[in-house]
Amino acid sequence: MKVTKLVALKNNFFRVEFDNGEYLRVHEEGLIKHVLYNGKELTDEDFEQIKSTLDFDRAYIKAIHYISFKLRSEYEIYTYLSEDFSEEVILRTIERLVNENYINDSIYAEALKNTMLNTTDKGPLLFKRELEKKRVPKSIIDDAVEAFKESIEPDRLIKIRDKELKKYKGSKNLFKKKLTERLMTKGYTLDFMSIIPSDVEFDDVEFFEKDFEKYYNRHARKYRGFDLKNRVIRSLLGRGYSYSQIEERIGSIEDDFIWSDDES
């Protein structure tokens, strides 16, 4: 059989047509490797051998193109190639990519660590979760997560605290709880709370007054006297305000509660 035509396709691929009606889709690297040109004579055995190796060539080129956008884990490459190629072709391709250092899960984990540290405020647990999703080996994950933790500076956590503080309205005590919850959702463990300086200026008087008025008016619709007082205290304690702060405020309007008892 003889090559009768080479047709240029997209992405440096060519359609190689033969005089018996057969054709192959070959990357330019494959043309050079198999010395395919117009008029080239091939035996049936040559044709089948070339055909069997083209999948490997195509898988390799496809993987290189995929990696060119950003680093990928070995699992990502496997998943990406599994859409079009057999297990044997994929494993051979991955082996070649590993040998040529196009795939290196340790380098991948290091790159992801630096990206998350520099462009996000996420913590080590979310970093670990990302590596686990990409099926990076556990030994690499453990080392990378430890390195992530060691790279966390107080300023990183202070920025999260200040961001939450700007939109928070409530008691100082409850803010600590909310901040802890926020840090945990971002992938930090409780021990990171101790890294955050406690010298933040926080005046919750304004929020206390608004909450006091809200709960007093709400409960005063149904309750009087001791019941009213008790329910207001419980509501405000639930909002994180101190008992002494609440008692002092109630003391300023004690007559209202006494009047309510007499009224009943």
Choice among 60-64, 141-145, 220-224 with the minimum mean pLDDT: 220-224
pLDDT for position 261? 47
Kindly calculate the radius of gyration of the chain based on its CA atoms and give it in whole angstroms: 34
- Of the ranges 9-23, 111-125, 204-218, 220-234, which is most confident? 111-125
**Cα 130 from Cα 244, distance rounded (Å):** 46
Per-residue pLDDT averaged across 36-45, rounded? 89
Residue with tokens 């970093």: 127
pLDDT at 201 over 70: no
pLDDT for position 234? 85
What's the chain's average pLDDT?
86
Per-residue pLDDT averaged across 150-165, rounded? 89
Choice among 36-40, 60-64, 187-191, 250-254 with the minimum mean pLDDT: 250-254
pLDDT at 258 over 70: no
**Cα 249 from Cα 150, distance rounded (Å):** 46
pLDDT at 256 over 70: no
Do 207 and 168 form a contact (C-beta atoms < 8 A)? no
pLDDT for position 209? 75
Do 222 and 259 form a contact (C-beta atoms < 8 A)? no
Three-state SS for 136? coil
Q: What are 192's two structure tokens?
A: 């990171």
pLDDT for position 91? 95
Q: What percent of the chain stands above pLDDT 70?
A: 91
pLDDT at 10 over 70: yes
Per-residue pLDDT reduced to its tens digit, 170-184: 677 778 888 888 899
Which pTM value belongs to this model? 0.67
Three-state SS for 147? helix
- In this structure, the strands spanning 13-18 and 23-27 are antiparallel
Q: What are 5's two structure tokens?
A: 């035509």
Within the chain, where are the H helices? 28-33, 44-69, 74-81, 87-99, 105-119, 124-133, 138-151, 154-167, 172-185, 205-220, 225-238, 243-251, 254-263
Per-residue pLDDT reduced to its tens digit, 49-92: 888 788 888 899 899 999 999 999 999 999 999 988 889 899 99
pLDDT at 260 over 60: no
pLDDT at 264 over 50: no
pLDDT at 194 over 90: no
pLDDT at 117 over 50: yes
Higher pLDDT, 97 or 229: 97
**Cα 39 from Cα 42, distance rounded (Å):** 10
pLDDT for position 28? 87
